[in-house]
């Protein structure tokens, strides 16, 4: 191959290190900001018809997908490296780890044929994987928030939304028949604190409001 290089990925910039094996030209720098537009503009300097084969190594971290896609459009071969195995090949740290050093390491591993390369799936497989991962994350967050709401409601001695008692006539009647601050204990605190004279259905406005400067236990 004629041009071989490494690309270190970060959210704010992309650090590159490449060498032209035919004439020995070496270049290192940064692409900022790290987005498709600036990356595509930078890749225009590599013309496969002029430079021959062009290949870059990059780690399989967040952001690798759009970089590999833009490289494919420009005729540049992307080699995806496994981050953990690449870190092992880096060896013990003798000096501070920098973006330039990471880009140089990727280039050297690719040139020596020692890059722990990963398989890049087809675009449709990447789309399915992204959708499934997003769905799994949403389900995990939904479960976490549901458990948190249930614990807060149980801490106040009431039931959580979707459980027995919420929305039933007995629950509404117990709230509407409240005549004293003691009767408001069955009402969630966030409902009584935010009630106003126009929206309060039973208690006098502010009957359950905590005194100014007081703190709520557990918050």
Interval 77-97: pLDDT, tens: 999 999 989 888 887 766 667
Instruction: Establish if 191 belongs to a structural domain.
Output: no
* Dist. CA 132–CA 75, nearest whole Å: 30
* Dist. CA 56–CA 17, nearest whole Å: 9
Instruction: Establish if 64 belongs to a structural domain.
Output: yes
Tokens of 3: 């041009």
* Dist. CA 181–CA 187, nearest whole Å: 10
Instruction: Establish if 213 belongs to a structural domain.
Output: no
Instruction: Establish if 112 belongs to a structural domain.
Output: yes
Query: pLDDT at position 94, please?
Result: 61
Q: Does residue 23 share a domain with residue 110?
A: yes
* Domain-terminating residue out of 120, 135, 157: 120
Range of the domain at 143: 122-168
Work out the percent of the chain whose per-residue pLDDT is above 90.
Answer: 42
Say if pTM beats, i.e. exceeds, 0.85. Answer: no
Interval 93-143: pLDDT, tens: 666 678 899 999 999 999 999 999 998 888 888 889 889 989 999 999 999
Q: Does residue 138 share a domain with residue 36?
A: no
Q: Quote the number of domains for the chain.
A: 2
Instruction: Establish if 110 belongs to a structural domain.
Output: yes
């Amino acid at each position: 191959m004629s041009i071989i290089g490494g690309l270190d990925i970060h959210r704010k910039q992309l650090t590159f290190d490449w060498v032209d094996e035919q004439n020995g030209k070496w270049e290192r720098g940064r692409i900022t900001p790290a987005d498709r537009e600036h990356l595509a503009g930078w890749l225009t300097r590599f013309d496969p018809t002029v430079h021959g084969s062009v290949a870059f190594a990059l780690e399989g971290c967040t952001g690798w997908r759009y970089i590999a896609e833009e490289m494919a459009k420009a005729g540049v071969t992307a080699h995806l490296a496994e981050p953990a195995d690449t870190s092992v090949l880096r060896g013990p740290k003798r000096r501070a780890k920098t973006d330039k050093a990471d880009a140089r390491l990727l280039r050297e591993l690719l040139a020596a044929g020692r890059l722990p390369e990963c398989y890049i799936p087809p675009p449709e497989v990447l789309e399915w994987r992204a959708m499934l991962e997003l769905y799994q994350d949403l389900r995990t967050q939904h479960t976490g928030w549901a458990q948190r709401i249930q614990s807060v409601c149980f801490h106040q001695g009431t039931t959580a939304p979707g459980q027995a008692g919420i929305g039933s006539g007995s629950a509404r009647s117990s709230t509407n028949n409240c005549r004293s601050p003691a009767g408001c204990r069955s009402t969630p605190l966030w409902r009584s604190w935010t009630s106003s004279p126009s929206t309060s259905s039973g208690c006098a406005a502010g009957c359950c409001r905590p005194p100014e400067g007081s703190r709520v236990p557990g918050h």
